[in-house]
Amino acid sequence: MRPRSFSFIHPGHCRKVNEDSFYANDQDGLWIVCDGMGGHDDGLYASSLATDCFEALELNLDFEGNTNRIIETIHVIKKQLDKKVSLSKKEVMIGTTLILLYIEDNKGFCINAGDSRCYIVRDNTLSLISMDHTKELINEYGSQTVLTNALFSPGDVSIDIKKFNVQKEDVFLLCSDGLYNSLENKKIKQAMNLQSIELGLKSLSNSVLSTNADDNITGIIVGVL
């Protein structure tokens, strides 16, 4: 089986700075989407730090060895975030969501921290592999969804890890919340079910950019051939 991907990133229609980052490596079977938080500079620093660290990672072991290296890299990122915060002269919290997909042959591995998502379409059914780390707060101004976890500093590392079998013709979507908050599941499934993943990605990007698109948007479609 050969995985292949197409990706796009866009600041959206309302924000001047894009705090999202992504990394796609079809050869190594590794794809990542990060949504930074902590203000323009700090959010972009955190998301870019994560993707840069994975870009430098060598995946030349077996499946279990490579998954262990991936997890170790997350702890390296956390230490760098801690260092950034410790050098700051003011109280700050910086971090990034992380959704990561790793595929080797018929084995898959997903790591999640935050509310960026990994979807799968298999046998014409759309499902979520990841689970959002969020909660809903209700106050006098209405309801608001807030993050309960991410890869951030100060704080502890807490990640969800899922391992699963990969089948031929599986299609995956990794995305930040700027994408799925703007589109219904029906639209997402239709795009992922198109004849080619390249057309699927174009359909997703066109659909989300035809909305208000008030957040940064990142998406990677991965098809297993």
The DSSP code sequence of 73-136 is HHHHHHHHHHHHHHT-SS---EEE-EEEEEEETTEEEEEEESS-EEEEEETTEEEESS---EEE
- Beta-carbon neighbour count of residue 199 at 10 Å? 13
Instruction: Name all domains of the chain by residue range, CATH numbers in brackets.
Output: 3-224 (3.60.40.10)
3 within 8 A of 32, measured Cβ to Cβ: no
Q: What Rg value do the Cα atoms of the chain yield, rounded?
A: 17
Q: Please tell me the predicted confidence (pLDDT) of residue 89.
A: 73
Q: How far is 127 from 189, CA to CA, in rounded Å? A: 9
Q: Could you report the average pLDDT of every consecutive run of 10 residues in the chain (225 residues)?
A: 95 93 98 89 93 97 97 97 88 93 97 98 97 89 86 93 97 98 97 96 97 96 95
Q: Please tell me the predicted confidence (pLDDT) of residue 143.
A: 82
- Cβ-count burial of 45 within 10 angstroms (0-12 exposed, 13-18 middle, 19+ buried)? buried
Q: Please tell me the predicted confidence (pLDDT) of residue 14.
A: 93
Residues 6+ apart with CB under 8 A from 86: none
Alpha helices in 137-184 (DSSP H): 177-180
